[in-house]
Amino acid sequence: MNLLNNENLKWRHYKDDENFDYPIDYSDAVLDAREDGRLEILVRWAPNSYCHFHRHTAETSSVVLEGELKVTDIDLLTGQEKGSRIRKVGDFVHKEPGDIHMEKAGPEGALVLFNIYAPEGDGILAESLSKSGEVLSTSSMKKILSKRI
């Protein structure tokens, strides 16, 4: 499967939301979702746009395929930035559950391949958060698998 040029991918688009005061504009396409809790998903950000502020609740690996992505870690207790880094094409990272951050694409946008593993319980993958850390929504393997049937 060609990840960079594939008109057969089914993209879901997410746009600005009244709960957030920053530009949200990204899309995702599920490549593979399995009953054992493994998910491969491609995420594309529009230039200079964010995805929702979130916490990963599952083991997550990712690689930047196009553009660049600024990742800013946030301390939920203080609301302060703990640090940030620019991920460029080819950059790979593996994170254990609990990672809380913002992600913003660079001026050319970004395309990132995520591999997520959520084998336990209801298979919660991530939680979208308010500025104060309140859980606004969750994404789960159960939801993804039910949409693929």
Q: What is the pLDDT along the chain (149 residues), one digit of tens a residue?
A: 888 888 889 999 999 877 778 899 999 999 999 989 999 999 999 999 999 889 999 999 999 999 999 999 998 888 888 999 999 999 999 999 988 999 999 999 999 999 999 987 678 999 999 888 889 999 988 888 887 64
123 bridge partner residues: none
| C-beta of residue 73 within 8 angstroms of C-beta of residue 84 | yes
46 in a domain, yes or no?
Answer: yes
What pLDDT is stored for residue 121 in this prediction? 65
| C-beta of residue 42 within 8 angstroms of C-beta of residue 101 | no
4 in a domain, yes or no?
Answer: no
Give the start-end residues of each E strand in 46-123.
54-56, 59-74, 81-88, 92-95, 100-117
116 in a domain, yes or no?
Answer: yes
What pLDDT is stored for residue 77 in this prediction? 85
7 in a domain, yes or no?
Answer: no
| C-beta of residue 104 within 8 angstroms of C-beta of residue 50 | yes
Instruction: Show Cβ contacts of residue 21 under 8 Å, excluding neighbours closer than 6 positions.
Output: none
Which residue range is the domain that position 91 belongs to? Answer: 12-148
What pLDDT is stored for residue 148 in this prediction? 61
**What is the number of structural domains in the chain?**
1
What pLDDT is stored for residue 146 in this prediction? 84
117 in a domain, yes or no?
Answer: yes
What pLDDT is stored for residue 58 in this prediction? 94
1 in a domain, yes or no?
Answer: no
Which pTM does this prediction carry?
0.90
51 in a domain, yes or no?
Answer: yes
5 in a domain, yes or no?
Answer: no
* CATH number of the domain enclosing 108: 2.60.120.10
What pLDDT is stored for residue 149 in this prediction? 46
